[in-house]
Structure 1
Amino acid sequence: MAIASTNSTSTAALPGLSVNTVLMVLIAGAAGTLAFDLWGKAIAPLLGLGGLAPVGLARGFLGALGLPNSGAWGNVMHLFLVGAIAYPVGWLFIARPILAKVMPGLHWSIASALYGVGLWVFAIGFIAWVAGNPAFLGFTRITWVALAGHVIYGVVAAATIVHLERRAA
């Protein structure tokens, strides 16, 4: 079995917009979000590292924009709009093609971990700040739990996409 790098034809080219692509995005996003939440809400707290509160962060962000920010809207934002759609779309259509051009031959697992770091910078560096928190949540213990969670998300979502692409080929 060949190892997929970010510059192989199946991973560097932009996927066509189809029902299969939409399903792949949703499945990869669901898998990544499940892994993120399992880490941030169960495993990290069991290890005494603290727990993530992505719904609270989403609510703060929505409120800062003057949008409805109930718990339900926070869940819609975290679980669906960001986790199931925006982040996997960002991987497929932005990060993966750019990384394939900038660092050809980089294995998808390393590329997706770098993508996770980028997600962390965006979420904990920028979104947390807009929501009224210190950027990077003041570099407390939860900052590093969030870094691990975003890297886990990136790798799991990308692994799901790689798996689904290989099955389709």
Structure 2
Amino acid sequence: MASTTTNQTASALPRISADTIVLILLSGAAASMSFDIWGKVVAPLLGFGGLAPVGLARGFLGALGLPNGAPYGNLMHLFLVGMIAYPVGWLFIARPIFARVLPGLHWTIASALYGAALWVFAIGFIAWFAGNPAFLGFARITWVALAGHVLYGVVAAATVVYLEKRTA
């Protein structure tokens, strides 16, 4: 039952607790590492080009008129977005919605769809807001980013599933 989005855990909002905070941080860390390894190591080795999420975060901060040096871009990408915002989005928004709207959908499909939605948000909206073309003009890097965001979604959800099974 834990492999679908229909179980009680998936459809209910998580309790705010120390365990939930640890779950958010661990799933975000695992997913961020997988995203960065894909986008900065594997994709370039395969000839697809490399991702520059810190540069995008810096551009976004600058567009808001906020300090946008490298430390701020790293803080935004790695910690605020990668380790907190996106995992919170999965646990508190996407997973409960999928469980109610598409009951029985396996978590891998739901999390891949969540990753694709993150891509639309990051590369479609944030890139445009930061002064780049929406979806970065659909260049080759756009598709590397799509794969990275889908990977992020699946790894974050897999970490949640694994940790929830261990504590059940």
Aligned to 2:73: 74
Mapping for residues 87-106 of structure 1, pairs under 5 Å: 87-106=86-105
Asked if structure 2 preserves the Cα contact closer than 8 Å seen for 1:59 and 1:71, the reply is yes
Q: Which amino acid aligns with 2:163?
A: L
Asked if structure 1 preserves the Cα contact closer than 8 Å seen for 2:31 and 2:152, the reply is yes
Give the match's secondary structure for 2:4. coil
Give per-residue Cα distances to partners, 1:24-78, cap 9 Å, x unaligned: 0000000000000000000000000000000000000000000000000000000
Instruction: Extract structure 1 runs of 4+ deviating beyond 4 A.
Output: none
Asked if structure 1 preserves the Cα contact closer than 8 Å seen for 2:57 and 2:76, the reply is yes
Q: Which amino acid aligns with 1:135?
A: A
Q: Distance in 1 between matches of 2:47 and 2:66?
A: 34
Q: Which runs of 5+ in 2 are unaligned?
A: none
Aligned to 2:124: 125
Q: CA shift at 1:109, angstroms?
A: 0.4
Aligned to 1:84: 83
Asked if structure 2 preserves the Cα contact closer than 8 Å seen for 1:3 and 1:107, the reply is no
Q: CA shift at 1:4, angstroms?
A: 1.5
Aligned to 1:143: 142
Q: Distance in 1 between matches of 2:145 and 2:9?
A: 30
Asked if structure 2 preserves the Cα contact closer than 8 Å seen for 1:25 and 1:89, the reply is yes
Asked if structure 1 preserves the Cα contact closer than 8 Å seen for 2:2 and 2:161, the reply is no
Aligned to 2:52: 53
TM-score (norm 1): 0.98
Q: Which amino acid aligns with 2:153?
A: G
Asked if structure 2 preserves the Cα contact closer than 8 Å seen for 1:12 and 1:97, the reply is yes
Q: Which amino acid aligns with 2:103?
A: P
Q: Does 1:156 align with 2:155?
A: yes
